[in-house]
Amino acid sequence: MGSYFSKEAPVTGVKRTAEERDVPQKREATGYQRREGKGNKREPRGHSSGQFKTKKQMKKEKWMKDKEERKKKRSKMDTMKEEEKAPVQPTAGESLVTGVQPVGEINDLTSLVTRKQTVTKEVSTTNGYTTTVITNTSVSSSEVNSVDTDMTTKTGDTVRISTSGRIPKKKVALMLGYNGAGFQGLQINPKAHTIEGVVFDALCRAGAISLANQDDPKKSNWMRSARTDKGVSAAGNVISLKMQLPDNIVDRLNKILPPQIRVWGYVVVVKSFHAKYLCDSRIYEYLLPTCAFMDPIKRELKDERTLETDLTISNNDYENPIIKYVAASTPEEREMRHKYRAPEDRLLKFRMAIEQYVGSHNFHNYTINKGANDKSCNRYIKSITVSDPMYIHDTEWISIKLHGQSFMLHQIRKMISMGLLLARTSTPISLIPETFKLRRINIPKAPALGLLLERPIFNTYNEKVLVKSKEVIREKLTFDPYAAEIEKFKQEQIYAKIFETENTEHVFDGYLTSLDAHWGTDFDYLNEEGVIPDRCLITTKYNPQEEEDEEED
């Protein structure tokens, strides 16, 4: 065995001579190498040659790569614009005006195929362009023609599409009104019959939505200023979107839409416009028959349904639900309600009760799926006015106008219901401020039949647009130019339908009957003291009872 300092000694863990330290193979085995002019400082092997990169180097390389991709994309877009400007001639030998488009853009028609299940396409290539023929047996020729303004020719059910010229898109605020009866609310839903679904389909057929955007409204930046529930109408509402503006687009839309949906007009807005977030406030109206102020009529509950017209009553206990039945009102009772005229003292009490909502309050008891500590429950009501009684079809009605910054789901219907509950009982008005506190109670909803959106207001947007738009002339977003048309529509399509529906279906009569027959302890807050007893409190996952008790202590 060699000595401790001999060359035969192991390399690792021993002291080596100067000659051994200069051997490249052994120096490389250590994983480090000397840097010239840096003393004894060492750096990882391969760093100086670029094998290891710093974050700054990697960031610079990524920026350069993105720059090249952006440059290629701009070049491709410029090429496409030049091709669009070039005039396109029909294919030789065609007797029709045939649409052509580059081969690479044939996928633009996918959205049309998606929207119309029975659409088929035939493709032929001539001189680098693709001629596309749409054959549709389920849609009329006039309907298909309206998808694009360039579709002007047809032979039976065969229509040739022209996509050679694109109409530029504009960000617009589309103003419309509708009767919500028969629809599952306003917001578009592929599985339901909604107002927006019908309007979007009409926009596609009228040539306002490009073929590439017809499969999804989100591609057009679709947004509404106020979302109305099932059965709720609107004299004026606003939808913001990017759309093409062919000639006479408003008239074309109204010819396609059913009579209960009307487009009043549109305003070209700034690109950043958002119908929901730039809306200052909303004005709603609720039509209420004064028979809602009648004294409660005692009802007899049944354990089994005896007639098809019997109403179902529940105890509102989700853990242990109990179902009862009550007979519908007799013709004599309905006639009595139609003939009822509210005394002045009850109208005054209702007005005073409704005025309690004005201002900023926590309306967690007037909506669903929100707890008392949810900050979104704090809403600001600007004003509420109650009209004098009016008489339609020998029934007395009143109109309630509510002007608020925004409203939550079911909020207005529950506010109206609480007001009439106080007016028809001896419960004092002091109960309403108690509902703004943390304790959770059950407040029934008034029927959706009487509710309608009057109009959204965009005063702040209008003021800023007029100040900043020095070079571009901007129009105010207001419903004033269409006031006469809107009033006529309200009378014929909204008010008349509400009164007619009540006379035939007795919606408010059924609502009052269910209130009179309600059983359980959750309505025990209707008492002469105006206090909320513990027995009528309800517990949900949004406001556990334990948390409420801790807050009160």
Angle at which helices 249-256 and 195-205 pack, to 10 degrees? 120
Beta pairing, strands 129-135 & 158-160:
antiparallel
Which residue in 412, 433, 432 sits closest to 423, CA to CA? 432
* 522 belongs to the catalytic site: no
Q: Do the Cβ atoms of 110 and 220 come closer than 8 Å?
A: no
| CA 418/CA 430 separation, integer angstroms | 12
Of 157, 201, 215, 229, which residue is the catalytic one?
229
Query: Tokens in use for 257?
Result: 């839409």
Measured CA to CA in angstroms, residue 290 lies from 295, 396, 497 at distances of 11, 6, 18
Q: Tell me the residue type at 58.
A: M
Q: Tell me the residue type at 42.
A: R
Q: Do the Cβ atoms of 146 and 255 come closer than 8 Å?
A: no
Centroid of chain to Cα 201: 17
Identify the bridge partners of residue 490 per DSSP, sorted by sequence position.
none
Phi, psi of 462 (to 5 degrees): -60, -40
Burial class of 539 by CB neighbour count within 10 A (0 to 12, 13 to 18, 19+): middle
| CA 343/CA 347 separation, integer angstroms | 7
Continuous segment of H or E residues that includes residue 337: helix 331-339
Q: Which residues are catalytic?
A: 229
